Amino acid sequence: MRNSPRRTRTGVRTQTRAAALCTVLLLAGSVAPAIAAAPGGTVTTADAPTSGRGTLVSADFLYSLEKPEDVTAWLTSAEFDAGTVRYGVDAYRLVYRTVDPYGRPTTASGLLVLPRGGEGRLRPVSFTHGTGSHKDDSPSKQTGGFLPAPPVTYASAGYAGIAPDYLGMGVGPGPHPWMDVPSETTASLDMLRAARAFTPRTGRTLDREVAVTGFSQGASAALGLARALQSGEDRWFRLGALAPVSGAYDFGGAELPALLAGELETKSSVLYAAYTLVAFNRLHHLYDSPAEVFQAPYAATIEALFDGAHTGRQLMEGTPDTLDKLLTAHGRDLLAHPTGPMAAALRTTDDVCDWAPRVPTRLYMASGDEQATVTNTAHCRTALARHGVAAPVVDLGAVDYNGSRHLGSNVRATAAVVRWLDELR
């Protein structure tokens, strides 16, 4: 994948029905039942090399769900399907070396969840999560609920659940380069490498074939990782299956037009428009002053809200209820009719489906998605078809999670992907 700034996706929760949109942004991270505390904390890696992408820096044992019934209770409390649970699980936070959007060395973190039992050689499932604003809106920083539920589900079914936090999230330094598929790809690939380095310490090894999935923002990240694996960017891992969920795959051609036309939930549209301009400006220099694209009084405070230290609630309270109150005429025009650096960035954002996966591939979506217009999935399917790939679209139906079909699609798709992967074995 390219090493220049680029891409992303969806996923948010709020406080009422309008608050259910910014999902990851307001996650509380409550501890679910029957979690055994980490015995002593860190699995030391003090002798780890000091350079090299994917090099393991540290591994912290976070918690155990020792029995299948513990996992069932945990997933049920998170409102996820526990029907595929076969094992208890152990969860670890890995910190590893990777690169930033400019190719400079940095570190990132992620969640590794392993089954307690089953085979010694585990098939890895890479899950890339939806949008968050606070650093703690990350799989490895939550001990219960929406974010870690997918990797816990995969591990409890006998797979190795591997979930990168992304750059700037979890315990990684700096701001999160939201919408940047190339750095999502490198962070995800290097998380796989770190997991492979760590897993033998538990008496297990990782298989070569990776099942790749992800939700919302993570759906595009999943496609980026899948393409990197298929093109041979890692000497060990290769692509085994691909199942993205509810992505904004055509961000410039479908998502932004739907957002600006008022076809999506209003408050989530405000947040995504703001995040897009702030995050893209950090990498592509779209404007010299926030006042060029944001109206007063928000121009004075909007960039600080996306610094990784502000919560979803603060984001909700610090932004207006409509795009007309948020954007200047120039800000709206930049999203509606992108030119220059914005257009170049969107070309990278929007090519995630423009290739031919040579493995079983499915696209999951939910009818009536209020955050990621389903036109994205239609465009992705068409792009894959141009390359000779007939990817089935699985409509998850009228799902709901805290008033959101978008979030509900992640809940319902997780166990559905497990069952599909089991069929492929």
Q: Please report, for the chain, the start and end positions of each structural domain, with discontinuous segments joined by +.
A: 18-250+348-424
For position 34, what pLDDT does the model report? 47
- Looking at the chain, how many residues does it have? 425
Summarize the confidence of residues 242-246 as an average pLDDT. Answer: 98
For position 5, what pLDDT does the model report? 32
Q: What percent of the chain stands above pLDDT 90?
A: 86
Rounded-to-integer distance, Cα 279 and Cα 6, Å: 10
Summarize the confidence of residues 330-336 as an average pLDDT. Answer: 98
For 121, phi then psi, to 5°, come to -105, 120
The pLDDT confidence band at residue 26, using thresholds 50, 70 and 90, is very low
For position 25, what pLDDT does the model report? 46
Segment 100-128, tens digit of pLDDT: 999 999 999 999 999 999 889 999 999 99
Summarize the confidence of residues 266-294 as an average pLDDT. Answer: 97
**Residues 210, 126 contacting (CB under 8 angstroms):** yes
Q: Is 159 exposed, middle or buried (0-12, 13-18, 19+ CB in 10 A)?
A: buried
Lookup result for tokens 């750095």: 183
Rounded-to-integer distance, Cα 138 and Cα 130, Å: 9
What is the DSSP code (8-state) at residue 156? Answer: H
Please give the residue that has the higher pLDDT: either 255 or 8.
255
Domain covering 18-250+348-424, topology = Rossmann fold (3.40.50)
Please report which helix (H) or strand (E) contains residue 362, including its range.
none
Residue 31 pLDDT > 80, yes or no? no
The pLDDT confidence band at residue 179, using thresholds 50, 70 and 90, is confident
Segment 376-387, tens digit of pLDDT: 999 999 999 999
pTM: 0.91
**Residues 218, 127 contacting (CB under 8 angstroms):** yes
CA dihedral 174, 287, 248, 12 (to 10 degrees): 60
**Residues 338, 257 contacting (CB under 8 angstroms):** no
Q: Residue 126: beta bridge partners?
A: 162, 212
For position 413, what pLDDT does the model report? 98
141: left (phi over 0), alpha (psi -120 to 50) or beta: alpha
Rounded-to-integer distance, Cα 160 and Cα 197, Å: 13
Segment 35-52, tens digit of pLDDT: 554 443 454 443 334 459
Please report which helix (H) or strand (E) contains residue 124, including its range.
strand 124-128
